[in-house]
Amino acid sequence: MRIILVYGGSPIANDPANFTLDRIKSVLEELEVETKCFDLHEDTYDNEQFFNDLIESDGVVLGITVEWLGIGGRMQTFMDQCYKYGKPADFNDKYLMAVVLSKKHGERDALNHLLQSWEMLGGLEGQTICGMVNDAIEIENSPALLSIIDKKTEDYYRIVHQKRSQIPKSINYLSPKSVDTYNLSDVQHTIENESTVKNHKHSILNHDNAHQKDITIIANRFKRQLDQDSDSNSNPQLYHLKNAFKGADEDKNYRYLIKQTDTNEEIGIIIRNGEIEVILGTIMHPDVVMHLTEDKMNQVLDGKLTTHRAFMTGELSAKGNIGLVYEFDKLFEFI
């Protein structure tokens, strides 16, 4: 399964929609879903690349934080481009998960706008997250809100994986993107056909099998969550990073992504509010990406090599905020 995540908000620290998309991505990847992310505010966003990836995808997650009224300029331009340049077949059977959060008001109107636009393109409604949240910290510090995001993401996963059918809506008839999608007389005739009834029974059995498989996958995800501490301890690198963290000022928010070039293993480090979270795997929107071999990484963790020295000697390369490579040595004390 492949899911595209599109963030249409502003590059503001602690943006709630941005944080929520990051959480959704993490849950999907735990469910073994391949993800691709697009940030509409970045100069590197490629509209043509989005359409190419859309063809191979099963669903799309769109996320915005309502600044004033509506879905915002970036997301509106994006939807306009989808309508102008996209083909109807590109959006058919693509399930949308819409994330619309506001700091004051207007989230419901923006959500309806987003859902209606997607349906006019020919897509399907999958799941929604809609509400008023002050910032990402409010979500991060609320187990209840985090649980809601996780459960809605899991439900979205099941909807996409099972390719759930939906009741026809009037917009399917009005939209030029969806002409001849349904013909009620043909449907009635088909239902009366005995062979179709048999196929329908077979489809139900397949649906039940898919549902059982989804339950197993999601149950395994919860098991991994329960074993998270033991997994961290069993991975020497994660264990060293957690225990060597010296702390940071609460106003310092850093996101490191470490890629070990010879093993292709990735480690994400999120430092926020003076606390650290270490993740085995990738993270969204890293401030800096550091590349080095597993051997050099282990030397850093053993206190035999600093990231500063490794960068100066070419043993470590970095992309993004290079200053955080030097800051790394101040945040950790490896022995």
Number of domains observed in the structure of the chain: 3
Q: Are residues 170 and 259 in the same domain?
A: no
Tokens 């098991």 locate to: 223
Per cent of the chain over pLDDT 90 is 59
Could you tell me if 208 and 258 lie in one domain?
no
Query: Measured between alpha carbons, how far is 211 from 121 in angstroms, rounded to an integer?
Result: 28
Phi and psi, residue 275, nearest 5°: -120, 160
**C-alpha angle 173/179/185, rounded to 5°?**
70
User: Which tokens go with 203?
Assistant: 């489809």
CATH number of the domain to which 112 belongs: 3.40.50.360
Q: Is residue 128 scored above 80 in pLDDT?
A: yes
Indicate whether 75 pLDDT > 60. yes
**Is residue 183, in this structure, part of any structural domain at all?**
no
pLDDT at 191 over 80: no
Hey, is 142 helix, strand or coil? Answer: coil
Whether 251 maps to a domain, the answer reads: yes
Q: What is the pLDDT of residue 100?
A: 97
Q: Residue 179: its pLDDT value, please?
A: 41
Mean of the per-residue pLDDT values for the chain? 85
Considering the domain architecture, whether residues 220 and 128 belong to the same structural domain is answered as: no
Domain span including residue 205 = 188-225
Same domain, 170 and 25: yes
Model pTM greater than 0.85?
A: no
- pLDDT over threshold 70, residue 278: yes
Same-domain status, 34 and 147 = yes
Within-domain flag for 36 = yes
The DSSP-derived string for 234-293 is: HSHHHHHHHHHB----TT--EEEEEEETTTTEEEEEEEETTEEEEEES--SS-SEEEEE-
**Do both 84 and 106 map to the same domain?**
yes
Are 197 and 243 members of one domain? no
86-to-43, 52, 89, 157, 179 alpha-carbon distances in Å: 21, 10, 8, 24, 15
Q: Are residues 134 and 45 in the same domain?
A: yes
